[in-house]
Amino acid sequence: MTEAEAEQLRGELHALREALANATSDRERYRALYMQLLERCRLLERGIVVGQKAERDRGGEETQLSMQLLGMMLSPDEAEAAAEDDGLDDALSDALDEADGPGDDAGDTGRGDTCAPRRPRRGRRKLPEALPRVEIEILPPEVLQEGLSSFRRIGEVVSEVVERRPASLVVARIVRPKFARRDDAAETVEEHLSEETPEVPAVVIASPPERPIERGLAGPGLLAHTIVQRWQDHMPSNRQEGIYAREGLVLSRQTICSWHQQLADLVEPLVEAMLADAFRSPYLCVDATGVLVQASEQCQRAHFWVLVAPGRHVLYRFSHKHDSEAVDRLLAGYEGYLVADAHSVYDHLYARGGLVEVGCWAHCRRYFYKTLGTEPELARHALGLIRKLFKVEEKLADEARKKRESVRSRFRRRSSTPSSHGATSRPRSPSTARRWPRR
């Protein structure tokens, strides 16, 4: 073999190695793309929106069967997870029955547990009995012409429709008459008026009624209505302005805002009492969202904080900055468990030792969701375990507080806690063995 042939073979070998490396790289890239598309097909089969905010499973019971069938075709682990979910439902139902106690079956009609569940009643709902009734009697034309004396009443047909009385504004004229004693002559009354003192009044008059806003135009009912419309019904003041204009009252949005500002100072003691009561809760949930605030030159970014004591209070605070000082003002004096995101503004609170950090499963789940394209098997396993935790809380959401606590104490030790520890029972690849970053 000549030197030229050997050089040619070396060149061909180098080209083949480059082609193999490129093919291997393309294979891995197409494999990752294939897994992403496969997972998207799985999500679409389950009825989940793909894209932004696509992490929530919106599939109902109708999609559960197709989800399980697709899982059995794709991997045996999914079929096993579906079977575990069925066992989870049975265990949760047993725990709910145990929480009801034997006394809850006193009103049982004798139907066995093997009976099919009662279907929800369809059709028009019965109107609430608390609504006032107004009877409108409609007589036939023959009765109106000949009179009731020519007929005898043998029955009636009753139907009900819901009507609405339009809301109306009322001007309350507060009249406070002045009185003077009868034995005082007119001249004596004039003299008494010139010599009147707070201890000995010459004219007797009732004290003015107390108002939420001193010398204000609006009464308590109107003020409460504007507050409910703005914060409960999410109706801004400009829309309220138009509504009151249609009712014949010219009321500017600036006036409504000034009312609410004065009422905020009035209810501040109540808010502080709610905050003190919230701090007695075993745990609190805190989060912040950015908002734009008008300024002279350009809008500035500020933040609204929400503090939730589950089942008791929801409180809000405003701060110009999203920093540790704002957190200190919000949680001053609180010690306990804190459910918050992994932002660094909370780190100094945990370092002090008064607060215990409680992670959010929704935030933790997001990291596993993002790894579906690279580590689909491990990610699906973790998402399945988290789904069990969510399923437990979903079943208990509509139950009474005492019943929820009873079921959790019996059931979560048996099902939820093993599920959370089950995430560490499977072998992990080196890429997933590292700790998840805080941000």
pLDDT digits over 74-115, tens only? 444 444 555 556 566 666 666 666 666 654 444 444 444 444
pLDDT digits over 171-206, tens only? 989 898 888 777 665 555 566 555 555 555 567 788
pLDDT digits over 3-33, tens only? 888 888 888 888 888 888 888 888 888 888 8
What pTM, to 2 d.p., does this model score?
0.58
Residue 296 CA: distances (Å) to CA of 241, 293, 299, 300, 384: 26, 10, 8, 10, 52
Predicted local distance difference test score (pLDDT) of residue 224: 92
Which one-letter amino acid corresponds to residue 184?
D
Predicted local distance difference test score (pLDDT) of residue 115: 47
pLDDT digits over 367-406, tens only? 888 888 888 888 888 888 888 888 877 877 777 777 777 7
Predicted local distance difference test score (pLDDT) of residue 429: 38
β-sheet with 313-319: strand ranges across:
313-319, 300-309, 283-293, 336-339, 355-358
